[in-house]
Structure 1
């Protein structure tokens, strides 16, 4: 096989991506469909490898599919200002900060529930009591 042509399995191994995920990215339009070989196999290029690596890294950083699509579209316009990229990244950072605040509040609540546990019987368990529906 030509070294510049990758099978879907080769691409999956090179990027640590499941084959099904690669197909999903193709169907969603994030990754362009590759040409087919004479035997009807997908023939990915180094360009596909780079784009898939970009998608994987963005997803690893928690960017949504919509944000990844936006970033890919912006990345394709090399001569444009990166202000739009900064806006997407700042919005994502704000969302991460919000989630961290929520997680800190959840942690505090759970720690309080655990601290109030006197290790008695389940009938008197403050954790179970806090989890039970009120009504």
Structure 2
């Protein structure tokens, strides 16, 4: 399954639904679901600016999945600033011209340790963990809980 490394605290903000635009300097034709990987290092300045405790962030793991449904090209600084509540980026990121529009985020109950890479990459999960297990973990949890105590 495709995967994208997103620095913390932004990876958690995506999976929690608080960040719905991921800014990048590059465009993509890819549309669909992908895994969100949180690299080993978190952005300390972003944590401080957003009031997030860096010590509570998960790093070096795949933390969930999200759907990329479109890409928005920013043609002006004012246009980029108007979407601040959706991308939460500092002014240092305002040279990023493409916004990946995200929805349908879901968190893994148990993060999967994994080494990240640049751009979209194919996550080759350990032989004991299949893509179906990841999908089952994400999609079937709600279904399983509706039957708790009813059998």
TM-score by length of 2: 0.27
Which structure has more strand as a fraction of its residues? Answer: 2
Which structure has more helix as a fraction of its residues? Answer: 1
Structure number with larger C-alpha Rg = 1
